[in-house]
Amino acid sequence: MKLFVSSDVQASTIFSDAFARLECELNQFQSAIQTPKARAAALATVDQNIDAANRLILSMLTRRNMLVPISVLPVEILVRIFHLNAVVAASARTYSPTLSPGLVSVMHVCRHWRQVALNDSTLWTEFSTSPRDEDWIAERLSRARNAPLIIELGASVDRDMVFLFTPHISHTRELYLRNIPSITHSVIMQEVSTQKASELECFELRVSSTLPIMHPAGHSFFNGPLPKLRVLCLSQILFPWSLVPRGPLTQLRVALNEEDFTSHPEVSPHEDLNQLIDLLVNCPALEVLHLENCLPVTLSESSGEQTIHLPRLSRLFLAGSSSRVRNLLKMLKLSSSTTLV
């Protein structure tokens, strides 16, 4: 505390000396600024003194901020406060669509807060459809560095924005592509399918189309395995069941608007019953299973002799032909705690 007191006394002395010197110089200027050249020199000197005074004021403000109680909080607590502030600002929806909610405001409080925010990459990892300024998105991606990302893109996404995000798929934890126009879907998947996504835990792809979109034959959703994928949600997409990763899935949601599109095996890759059975058998960790209008036609004639054990399933939703739903239920061995929706 003595250090601050001593520094403040020293700063006050500097202020007094500066004002005294300025007053003396002004008196001298009054008699020496009779010519344009002298006035220009005097103006330059005054500007230098103003700059020196501004720097001193900024230094004093910084010292003052260091004495405020919140400035002595551990960095970890400050970062937590910044996260909560961003959540509140996002829920209020009162921010500019070109800015990151909450973060810009805290960075303008003081130099210390700004440095804390810039040093913590986790503050810059969430991207929604609201910030559409590409330069700002690129800046935030740079600040996020290699921290796991959460990306949500919607109907307004364009090709250039997709190009911004695809190089970062390798360290994306959650990827939500919602209400994607059918014409944009092919562009997105063409780019995304070339990327490795070894850190991906949640993937959602929903196309805003009356007719379902056929996933490109021979293409996976991503380049390589998805060892951490837990949640997969696909809507209005026709794809072979073999593309769904086996093993760690806890939630699988696949939905079509109409069941008629699954009635022709040559049209819908969903029709391979053996692949569906293999998928369910090899995903014993499933907790939520939602299959809507995508059950294979051959389930209508299935005897149900195959048993699929899903011991952790807590929520089951099946929609479509009653015979297909009934026969799949015959195959499933469920826990007594499973809720049928």
Q: What is the CATH number of the domain that holds 181?
A: 3.80.10
* Coil vs helix vs strand at 102: coil
Same domain, 120 and 216: yes
Same domain, 182 and 286: yes
Same domain, 61 and 119: no
Residue ending a domain, choose from 46, 67, 88: 67
273: in domain: yes
Same domain, 161 and 255: yes
Share of the chain above pLDDT 90, in %: 38
pLDDT category of residue 63 using cuts at 50, 70 and 90: confident
pLDDT average, residue stretch 121-134 = 80
pLDDT score of 4 more than 90: no
pLDDT at res. 297: 87
pLDDT score of 304 more than 80: no
pLDDT average, residue stretch 145-174 = 90
pLDDT at res. 260: 56
pLDDT at res. 62: 79
pLDDT category of residue 9 using cuts at 50, 70 and 90: low
Distances (CA, A) of 253 to 131, 201, 216, 230: 28, 14, 20, 11
pLDDT category of residue 129 using cuts at 50, 70 and 90: low
255: in domain: yes
pLDDT at res. 316: 97
The average confidence (pLDDT) of the chain is 82
pLDDT category of residue 3 using cuts at 50, 70 and 90: very low
pLDDT score of 222 more than 50: yes
Residue ending a domain, choose from 32, 48, 67: 67
pLDDT at res. 7: 52
Same domain, 223 and 326: yes
More confident residue, 198 or 65: 198
Size (the chain), residues: 341
pLDDT at res. 315: 96
The closest alpha carbon to 124, from 147, 97, 108, belongs to 147
128: in domain: yes
pLDDT at res. 98: 42
Same domain, 203 and 280: yes
pTM, entire model: 0.77
Number of domains in the chain: 2
Same domain, 144 and 245: yes
pLDDT at res. 279: 95
pLDDT at res. 112: 84
140: in domain: yes
Structure tokens that stand for 104 in this block:
């810009």
pLDDT score of 35 more than 60: yes
Torsion angles phi and psi, residue 44, rounded to 5: -65, -40
Same domain, 237 and 299: yes
pLDDT score of 97 more than 50: no
Same domain, 126 and 262: yes
More confident residue, 248 or 259: 248
State which of 45-49, 51-55, 288-292 shows the largest mean pLDDT: 288-292
pLDDT score of 148 more than 70: yes
- Rounded Cα distance between 72 and 79, Å, is 13
- Rounded Cα distance between 59 and 69, Å, is 18
pLDDT at res. 201: 97
pLDDT score of 319 more than 70: yes
Mean pLDDT is lowest, of 100-114, 118-132, 168-182, 315-329, for 100-114
Same domain, 46 and 126: no
pLDDT at res. 95: 44
> For the chain, where are the alpha helices, taking DSSP H only?
2-32, 36-67, 75-92, 103-107, 111-119, 134-144, 159-165, 182-192, 273-281, 322-331
82: in domain: no
95: in domain: no
pLDDT score of 13 more than 70: no
pLDDT category of residue 27 using cuts at 50, 70 and 90: low
pLDDT at res. 106: 82
For residue 328, the Cα-to-chain-centroid distance in whole angstroms is 37
254: in domain: yes
Residue ending a domain, choose from 67, 82, 100: 67
Q: Which residues contact 84 (CB under 8 A, 6 or more apart)?
A: none
Share of the chain above pLDDT 70, in %: 80
Expressed as residue numbers, the domain containing 42 is 2-67
Same domain, 293 and 174: yes
pLDDT score of 234 more than 50: yes
107: in domain: no
Structure tokens that stand for 330 in this block:
């015959």
* Beta carbons of 331 and 277 less than 8 angstroms apart: yes
Query: In this structure, which long-range contacts are made by residues 106-111, counting pairs with CB atoms below 8 Å and at least 24 apart in sequence?
Result: 106/82, 110/61, 110/62, 110/65, 110/71, 111/62, 111/65
Same domain, 300 and 159: yes
Distances (CA, A) of 165 to 128, 207, 277: 12, 19, 35
pLDDT in tens, 261-288: 544 444 567 778 899 999 999 999 999 9
